[in-house]
Structure 1
Amino acid sequence: MPGVKTDAIPPSKRKTVAVIGGSFDPPTLAHLMVASQVVQLGCADEAWMVPCGNRPDKDTQVDAATRLRMTQAAIEAVIPEEFPVKCCDIEVANGSFIPTVFLMRRLREGHPDIAFRFVIGTDLPPTLPDWDHGDELIAENEFIVLPRPDSKPESEWPKGLKYVRVTDRVTVDRPLLTTDISSTAARNRLRELGWLGAASIVP
């Protein structure tokens, strides 16, 4: 049985913030497109990019503090100052990786006036029960779901998942722009061609 679309839930009177987690090693134009479009398509009032702390399950090329500075610089370089996309240092300031369920709890505790939604791709909902405290993560949070390759049908998504599907907000006047540029692809381009070769994908 699929989850419950957040659109069916009475809209919150609080400001809604989309949380976009990632290593951002480095941040790419694809990350910034996600952040800006969840706002432009009405899935959230603001988007916060949250560079992860040092993760035991994932090697990063540079330290967390540098990735935070890169993310801040990327936003400043591409996103207009008045547009509501921000960089949040909660994980980097913590000194280590925070599992998503605890990250979202900390954000709610620190900002009780904000309704937070976590951004994931359509390939991830079936894996959520396997995340750290996955059942609690699903029960406590709302999600913004972006189209991704290798997606599973919604019939395979966890029961009770509360979500906004970005594609439901697309109109002729507000299309969804996508790209599969990843941080790995950016690092490979940097390694092979240097900064000039990566200029089209890294801010």
Structure 2
Amino acid sequence: MSTVKKIGILGGTFDPPHAGHLRLASHFAKLLHLDALLLIPSGEPWQKGTGITPAETRLQLTEAAGIDLARAFLYLKISTQVGIDRIEIDRAGPSYAIDTVKTLRERFGADASLTWLMGADSLIALPSWNSWEKLSQYVNFAVATRPHHDLNEQTDPELSPDVSKFLKEHRAMDSTALENSAYGLIYLDESLNVDLSSTELRDRLKSSSRSAIASEEIPTHTLEIITKLGLYQ
């Protein structure tokens, strides 16, 4: 991927990866004309507490989801390459996004457009991330709004003054600005409402409604591995 110029980054615990992740990835891959999209499972998700599925297993689930994502791109005629990156799993200690974006910037060079993809809930929680205010020195952000998060300081009680200020300073009103900028911009996309939660899916997988979970919620190949390994019982 050394010649790649527009790279999307979708990080997360991926415990498990779900259809919401794939919808977010597909939407921004097409909108931002991404050359490549990296799915990056966290090694030690320091904010998640205990009870996390082992990193190598989550990597396996993410690789399976990547197969379904690549097939979706083919079907949708999206030319974005899909990559699964072990960068956080191979790095010792807590998985901090700031370390990841620094490494990716070194890998792809100063001119590549790097864009971190996330939902609005992650943007709201950004001040809890390690060295969060430095992230925009390395990447752009593409943010999909989610139900109950309108990202308006007057009407969204969860939006902190820090994030509101961050938005005002970095917001781009046009998605094409991200394609032409290596880092430093935030684009809010209100056309995609994804309301799926890994926590909720884990709870359902542990319940009697497990058999009702379909590929519309968890990618087919991921669900096969979950079943094969007997995860989330």
TM-score w.r.t. the length of structure 1 is: 0.77
Following TM superposition, by how much is the alpha carbon of 1:76 offset from its aligned partner in structure 2, in angstroms? 1.0
Q: How many aligned residue pairs are there?
A: 183
Greater RCO, 1 or 2 (C-alpha within 8 Å, sep 6+) = 1
Q: Encode CA deviations 1:7-40: one digit per residue, 9 max, x unaligned.
A: xxxxxx9621111111000101111111111111
Taking the aligned partners of 1:199 and 1:15, their CA distance within structure 2 comes to 36
Following TM superposition, by how much is the alpha carbon of 1:191 offset from its aligned partner in structure 2, in angstroms? 0.8
- Structure 2 partner of 1:65: 56
8 Å CA contact 2:15–2:52 kept in 1: the answer is yes
Q: Encode CA deviations 1:42-74: one digit per residue, 9 max, x unaligned.
A: 263332111001223213431001000101012
Following TM superposition, by how much is the alpha carbon of 1:129 offset from its aligned partner in structure 2, in angstroms? 4.1
Following TM superposition, by how much is the alpha carbon of 1:126 offset from its aligned partner in structure 2, in angstroms? 5.1
- Structure 2 partner of 1:109: 106
Write out aligned runs for 1:43-192 (5 A): 44-58=34-48, 59-80=50-71, 83-112=80-109, 114-125=112-123, 127-148=125-146, 149-153=148-152, 156-158=164-166, 159-161=168-170, 162-167=185-190, 176-192=191-207
Q: Which shifted more, 76-85 or 139-148?
A: 76-85
Uncovered stretches (5+) of structure 1, i.e. residues with no partner: 1-12, 168-175
Taking the aligned partners of 1:62 and 1:126, their CA distance within structure 2 comes to 25
Taking the aligned partners of 1:40 and 1:60, their CA distance within structure 2 comes to 35
8 Å CA contact 2:4–2:108 kept in 1: the answer is no
RMSD: 2.7
- Structure 2 partner of 1:3: none
Taking the aligned partners of 1:166 and 1:150, their CA distance within structure 2 comes to 12
- Structure 2 partner of 1:25: 15
Following TM superposition, by how much is the alpha carbon of 1:110 offset from its aligned partner in structure 2, in angstroms? 1.8
TM-score w.r.t. the length of structure 2 is: 0.68
- SS of the residue corresponding to residue 36 of structure 1 reads helix
The one-letter code of the counterpart of 1:181 is L
Q: Which shifted more, 97-106 or 110-119?
A: 110-119
8 Å CA contact 2:24–2:194 kept in 1: the answer is no
- SS of the residue corresponding to residue 196 of structure 1 reads helix
The one-letter code of the counterpart of 2:130 is D
Q: Encode CA deviations 1:133-192: one digit per residue, 9 max, x unaligned.
A: 12212344311111123232278241533212334xxxxxxxx45431111121112111
Taking the aligned partners of 1:30 and 1:117, their CA distance within structure 2 comes to 18
Q: Which shifted more, 39-48 or 58-67?
A: 39-48
